[in-house]
Amino acid sequence: MSHSLLVRPAQARHVPALLELLDALFRLESDFAFDAGKAERGLRMLLGQDDALALAAEARGRVVGLCTVQTVISTAEGGPVGWVEDVVVAEDWRGRGVGRRLLAEAERWAAERGLTRLQLLADGDNRAALDFYDRLGWGATRLVCRRRTL
Ligand SMILES: CC(C)(COP(=O)(O)OP(=O)(O)OC[C@H]1O[C@@H](n2cnc3c(N)ncnc32)[C@H](O)[C@@H]1OP(=O)(O)O)[C@@H](O)C(=O)NCCC(=O)NCCS
């Protein structure tokens, strides 16, 4: 399968398909509500950002996966690290190596830019995603997420 899968930086023409993937992802995460207008604005901002990456996975001309990375400065690391977000694969393409390819490409991009760590948040109830990250060698932390709306 992997020979027919293309993982590369997303382009503006991919946005409608990426919005469908984000809709599916947000349905799984009770902390978020999907808003197509906001999602599109956010995606387009990411596409124009030098220190961020939005990866699209394409199979047979169809967008089947998304993963984004954004750079922040870590005082713990003394340099740039990356936040991985928006990891989602189309339902009929799950379990076929697309997620693994997306994260491998995100890691390659991050390492090339001197990022020393990647981190992400996952819904504590999303056992499938947690098992996926375990399988890919992502360590667990004791951190929990808090937020305050402005
Ligand atoms: C989680 C998700 C991104 C994984 O992508 P995927 O393309 O299905 O995963 P892959 O096929 O690349 O699997 C990679 C490895 O993880 C394992 N894995 C994937 N899904 C798994 C699951 N549900 N349970 C256990 N292991 C799993 C695979 O067995 C595979 O291991 P292997 O390569 O050693 O055989 C995808 O299932 C998805 O989009 N889920 C819904 C959205 C979501 O939850 N996103 C994460 C938000 S934090």
In DSSP notation, 65-80 reads EEEEEEEEEETTTTEE
pLDDT average, residue stretch 22-44: 97
Structural domain total, the chain: 1
Mean pLDDT for all residues in the chain: 96
Q: How far is CA 13 from CA 40, 78, 108, in A?
A: 12, 37, 24
Q: Give CA 113 to chain center in angstroms.
A: 17
Give per-residue pLDDT as tens, 38-81: 999 999 999 999 999 999 999 999 999 999 999 999 999 999 99
Model confidence at 2, pLDDT cuts 50, 70, 90, reads: low
How much of the chain, in percent, has pLDDT values that exceed 90?
98
Tell me whether residue 148 is in a domain: no
Tell me whether residue 122 is in a domain: yes
Tell me whether residue 142 is in a domain: no
Ligand 1 closest atom vs CA 122: 48
Give per-residue pLDDT as tens, 77-106: 999 999 999 999 999 999 999 999 999 999
Tell me whether residue 146 is in a domain: no
Tell me whether residue 130 is in a domain: yes
Report CA(65)–ligand 1 centroid distance (Å).
11
> For residue 38, what are its two tokens?
């906001």
Task: Domain of residue 28: give its range.
Answer: 2-135
Tell me whether residue 36 is in a domain: yes
Cβ–ligand 1 contact at 1 (below 6 Å)? no
Tell me whether residue 47 is in a domain: yes
Cβ–ligand 1 contact at 97 (below 6 Å)? yes
CATH code of residue 92: 3.40.630.30
Q: Please name the residue whose Cα sits nearest to atom 41 of ligand 1.
A: 88
Q: Give the containing element (helix H, strand E) for 47.
A: helix 36-47
Tell me whether residue 141 is in a domain: no
Q: How far is CA 2 from CA 27, 95, 96, in A?
A: 27, 12, 8
